[in-house]
């Protein structure tokens, strides 16, 4: 059974139920029930019209729920009867659902969970596994999110920037459980790019493709992190790089620069270098300057300090770093790297050890600990 096809049909089926009178929460619940039924039935008896099958089953589930509700008569009067068999309409509600799930009243975690359910077609169990939380916890989070947007009509305009931030959060979660969230984010962003003509949507897609192209080279066989400069570039996916660069060039040609296009341009310059020593750091610094102009994110300036250290020498990088708040995440790790580049290995070792204690995850902590041990051994 094609699970990607199944998930890709989810937004359209929810939209069809919404136009027939179901509110968002009820429509989403009914479609989830239909997806579970499809997983059970389709392998042995695949339907001729998968979308029509999902619509029919989901509508029956909705009507069953409506009839059992205490307000049965009022709710049944507001909806149509059993749909006439036949192919489902070709209207695509994906874009409206993106905007609904990324509603500004939702927390980022709730928006991500709701997007994965309603647009991605993932089950609560799959989302819970991906985020390493109990299924009951994720179910409560999704229920609260659906209640929050219960009164929002699907035709109301949404904020593209909010949708893109949600998709970027999904992508950055990477992989855990039985769902590859990075690949899922790329799939959803492709879907969004097909539904809306916007250079920042293309910029985000390009950024994801360029980052994803380096995925297999980011870890060693023992699971340890491999820094960009040390990665085996023969393991990078050249097809994804070529696609990402082409998507980015088309977006930049429209001369409506945004932060995702600027980030993608930096990623493209890294991908273009045959070896780490051939990276065009001067141009990367220029792109960080553009990115700093577009966003007030201090992490941009932290990454710029690293680029300045490569382009103009470690002393220049340390000077740029000195202007930043030393409480920033990974500030100490950047300082360690720049001091090592400047030849002060004892100080760099101490800073690597300190950065390891502050690391946000086990993989990064182990990497920084090894860096400190390497310098102490020398």
Query: Does position 250 have pLDDT exceeding 90, yes or no?
Result: yes
**Mean local confidence (pLDDT), 209-225:** 93
The sign one gets for the Cα dihedral 352, 358, 359, 361 is positive
User: Are 331 and 325 contacting, i.e. CB atoms less than 8 angstroms apart?
Assistant: yes
User: Are 345 and 375 contacting, i.e. CB atoms less than 8 angstroms apart?
Assistant: yes
Domain ranges of the chain: 1-90, 92-170, 197-295, 296-378
Q: CA–CA separation, 116 vs 124, rounded Å?
A: 9
Q: CA–CA separation, 216 vs 238, rounded Å?
A: 12
Secondary element (H or E) of residue 176 = strand 175-176
The sign one gets for the Cα dihedral 37, 42, 46, 51 is positive
Predicted confidence (pLDDT) per residue in 172-208, tens digit:
876 555 668 888 889 889 988 988 899 999 999 999 9
| Of 47-56, 89-98, 186-195, minimum mean pLDDT range | 89-98
Tokens of 39: 């997983």
User: Are 47 and 169 contacting, i.e. CB atoms less than 8 angstroms apart?
Assistant: no
**Mean local confidence (pLDDT), 261-283:** 97
Q: Does the 92-170 domain belong in CATH 3.30.70?
A: no
Q: What is the pLDDT of residue 90?
A: 44
pTM over 0.85: no
**Mean local confidence (pLDDT), 125-154:** 83
Predicted confidence (pLDDT) per residue in 110-138, tens digit:
888 888 888 888 888 888 887 778 999 99
How many Cα neighbours within 13 Å face the side chain of 328? 19
User: Are 181 and 173 contacting, i.e. CB atoms less than 8 angstroms apart?
Assistant: yes
Predicted confidence (pLDDT) per residue in 317-368, tens digit:
999 999 999 999 899 999 999 999 999 999 999 999 999 999 988 889 999 9
277 — phi, psi (to 5°)?
Answer: -70, -10
Per-residue pLDDT band at 69 (split at 50, 70, 90): low
**Residue from 184, 164, 161, 160 nearest 173 by CA:** 184
């Amino acid at each position: 059974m094609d699970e990607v096809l199944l998930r890709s049909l989810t937004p359209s089926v929810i939209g069809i139920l919404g136009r027939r009178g179901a509110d968002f929460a009820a429509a989403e619940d009914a479609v989830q029930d239909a997806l579970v039924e499809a997983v059970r039935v389709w392998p042995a008896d695949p339907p001729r019209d998968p979308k029509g099958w999902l619509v029919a089953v989901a509508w029956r589930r909705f009507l069953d729920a409506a009839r059992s509700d205490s307000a049965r008569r009022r709710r049944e009067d507001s909806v149509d009867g059993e749909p006439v068999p036949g192919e489902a309409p070709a209207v695509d509600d994906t874009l409206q659902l993106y905007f609904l799930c990324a509603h500004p009243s939702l927390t980022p975690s709730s928006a991500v969970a709701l997007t994965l359910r309603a647009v991605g077609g993932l089950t609560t169990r799959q989302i819970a596994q991906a985020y390493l939380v109990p299924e009951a916890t994720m179910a409560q989070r999704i229920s609260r999110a659906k209640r929050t947007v219960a009164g929002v009509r699907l035709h109301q305009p949404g904020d593209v920037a909010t949708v893109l931030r949600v998709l970027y959060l999904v992508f950055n979660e990477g992989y855990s459980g039985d769902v590859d969230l990075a690949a899922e984010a790329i799939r959803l962003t492709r879907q969004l790019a097909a539904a809306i003509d916007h250079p920042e949507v293309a910029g985000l897609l390009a950024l994801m493709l360029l980052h994803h192209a380096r995925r297999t080279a980011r870890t060693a066989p023992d699971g340890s992190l491999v820094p960009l400069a040390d990665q085996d570039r023969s393991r990078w996916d050249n097809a994804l790089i070529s696609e990402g660069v082409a998507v980015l060039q088309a977006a930049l040609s429209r001369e409506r620069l945004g932060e995702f296009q600027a980030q993608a341009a930096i990623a493209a310059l890294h991908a273009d270098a045959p070896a780490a020593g051939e990276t065009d750091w001067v141009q990367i610094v220029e792109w960080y300057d553009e990115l700093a102009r577009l966003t007030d994110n201090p992490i941009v300036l932290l990454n710029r300090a690293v680029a300045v250290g490569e382009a103009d020498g470690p002393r220049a990088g340390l000077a740029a770093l000195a202007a930043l708040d030393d409480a920033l995440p990974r500030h100490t790790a950047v300082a360690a790297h720049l001091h090592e580049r400047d030849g002060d290995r004892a100080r760099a070792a101490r800073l690597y050890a300190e950065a390891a204690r502050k690391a946000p995850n086990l993989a990064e902590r182990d990497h920084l600990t090894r860096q400190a041990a390497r310098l102490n051994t020398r």
